[in-house]
Structure 1
Amino acid sequence: MKQQRVLRYMIEVEHGIDDYVDDEVSASENETAEEYIPAGRLVQITAVNDDGVIENIDLWVPPGPTTATRLPPARTRAHSRGYLVDTRTNRAVSFASTHEMHCALDLLSNRLVIDVEDQPPAVPYLAADGLMHEHTYDYRATLQNGTRLAFAVKPFDKVEETGIEDVIERTKPNLPGFADAAFLVTDRTLTRNRAWNAKATLRALKIRNDQDCARMRTIIADVHGVVSAYALARNFERFADGLNAIWCLLYDGVIELAEPARKLVDAPWVRVCNGGVVA
């Protein structure tokens, strides 16, 4: 067993969650799990059946296509390609590298972001050779307040080689109407640990239970300082339900990770924000 897994197990034992007998899924829950649709959206419509009785019917709406101006290139052995689904807009979001995937996950798991566009329209700029060129940012995010931010994603060791910082600076005069600001993000911030936390958040939101979230809010009402997320989750009959509520409240901004640069599984500590009130 790897050293990291041993340390995780020790953390679980320390917080009393090494025994998952009480967390076994019941038969009825298994039936629900089998019906779970991982992507897309369920919408309810009213219809009249053959007997003239009005009934509600759930329809599955598949994710819409990406709005990207260009699609990821063909897969290679050295790079990852694929799509995520933004459940808020029910639309596909593409990525053409692991770093881009991490950036997309960060944006999709941020409650302040209401829309994520991959490969938005290109921005023209005057290059050093005196000619007009175009640059396509990897992502454009729209915030709740209407602000639009553009992101260029590069590995840190490729920043100087690609001259991306100069390109971003040259596009700034032409950003109005496209974005309010543009940023360069690298693997220095787009870490695997942050991506792991982002994926865990998105998984929790898919099966969010508002009653569990309300119960967790009550539990943390009198909490001050840093507390174990595992200890909070153990207040539930099923540990998994409590931990899922933790992830949802992290998304809501009610609580925050004490060590956001680490995976929650390695540093299971959280603190309440603003007295538990969403900012």
Structure 2
Amino acid sequence: MKQKRVLRYMIEVEHGIDNYIDDCPPIFEKVIEEEFIPAGRLVQITAVNDNGETENIDLWVPPGPTTATRLPPARTKAHSRGYLVDTRTNRAVSFASTHEMHCALDLLSNRLVIDIEDQPPAVPYLGADGRMHEHTYDYRATLQNGTRLAFAVKPFDKVESTEIENIIGRTKPNLPGFADAAFLVTDRTLTRDRAWNAKATLRALKIRNEQDCARMRTIIADAHGVVSAYALARKFERFADGLNAIWCLLYDGVIELAEPARKLVDAPWVRVYEGEVIA
């Protein structure tokens, strides 16, 4: 057995969640589940049925296409590529590398972001050779306050060879109207652990239960500082319901991970803030 699995099991035992029997509903219990939509969204329309009666029906609207100015390159052995769905805009978001996917996940799991554009229009800049060139940022994110941020994603070991920092600096005079600021992000920040937490947040949001979230808010009202996320989740009849509520409140900014650079399963601690929601 891998060392990490052993350590995680020890953490679970320490937090009292080594036994999941109570989390499973009885085999004869009648469970009524709401319709789960993995992607796209349902909209209600009015239609006339075969009997001539007017009724409201749910119509599934699939995710819209990406707005990227260029699509991911053809398949290669060294890169990963694909699409994620931004449920807020019901639109596909592309990625052409694992690092880009991690960046997209970070943006998708940030409640302050209301729109994500992959491969937005190119920004012109004056090169060292005295000629005009263009640079296409990997992502442009629009925040709730209207601020637009551009992101260039590169592996850390290729920052120097690609001269990406110099390129970003040269595009800044032409950013007005395109973005308010531009940033370089690398795998030093876009780690697999952060991406794991982002994925868990997005999964939780898909099956969000407002009653569970309200109950968790009541529970953490008596908590202060850093507390065990597992201990909080254990206050629910089903541990999974409690943990899902925690992920949703992390998204809402009511609580935050005590160690955001590590997976929650490896560092199951959250920080509870008093008063206002975390910005």
Q: TM-score range by the shorter chain?
A: over 0.9
> What is the one-letter code of the residue matched to 1:236?
F
Aligned to 2:190: 190
Q: CA deviation at 1:28?
A: 5.0
Secondary structure of the 2:221 match is helix
Structure 2, unpaired ranges of 5+: none
Question: What TM-score results when the alignment is normalised by the length of structure 1?
Answer: 0.95
Q: CA deviation at 1:47?
A: 2.8
> What is the one-letter code of the residue matched to 2:119?
Q
Secondary structure of the 1:66 match is coil
1:32 aligns with 2:33: yes
Aligned to 1:160: 160
Alpha carbons 2:200, 2:247 under 8 Å: kept:
yes
Structure 1, unpaired ranges of 5+: none
* Larger displacement relative to structure 2 (189-198 or 45-54): 45-54
> What is the one-letter code of the residue matched to 2:162?
T
Alpha carbons 1:253, 1:273 under 8 Å: kept:
no
Aligned to 1:130: 130
Aligned to 2:216: 216
1:275 aligns with 2:275: yes
Q: For residues 99 and 231 of structure 1, what CA distance do their matches in structure 2 show? A: 33
Aligned to 1:4: 4
Q: Which has the higher helix share?
A: 1
Q: For residues 199 and 276 of structure 1, what CA distance do their matches in structure 2 show? A: 26
CA RMSD of aligned residues (A): 1.5
Q: For residues 172 and 274 of structure 1, what CA distance do their matches in structure 2 show? A: 39
Alpha carbons 2:44, 2:58 under 8 Å: kept:
yes
Aligned to 1:113: 113
Q: CA deviation at 1:108?
A: 0.4
Aligned to 1:22: 22
> What is the one-letter code of the residue matched to 1:107?
L
Change in 2 beyond 3 A, CA 1:53/1:276: farther
Q: For residues 136 and 157 of structure 1, what CA distance do their matches in structure 2 show? A: 20
Alpha carbons 1:119, 1:136 under 8 Å: kept:
yes
Q: CA deviation at 1:53?
A: 3.9
How many pairs are equivalent?
277
Q: For residues 141 and 21 of structure 1, what CA distance do their matches in structure 2 show? A: 43
Q: State, as a whole percentage, how many aligned pairs show the same letter.
A: 88
Q: CA deviation at 1:271?
A: 1.2
Q: CA deviation at 1:278?
A: 5.7
Q: CA deviation at 1:277?
A: 3.8
> What is the one-letter code of the residue matched to 1:84?
L
Change in 2 beyond 3 A, CA 1:134/1:28: farther
Change in 2 beyond 3 A, CA 1:175/1:274: farther
Q: For residues 10 and 235 of structure 1, what CA distance do their matches in structure 2 show? A: 20
Alpha carbons 1:117, 1:139 under 8 Å: kept:
yes
Aligned to 1:232: 232
Question: What TM-score results when the alignment is normalised by the length of structure 2?
Answer: 0.95
Q: For residues 195 and 278 of structure 2, what CA distance do their matches in structure 1 show? A: 23
Secondary structure of the 1:261 match is coil
Aligned to 1:201: 201
Q: For residues 38 and 92 of structure 2, what CA distance do their matches in structure 1 show? A: 13
Aligned to 1:247: 247
Q: CA deviation at 1:225?
A: 1.2
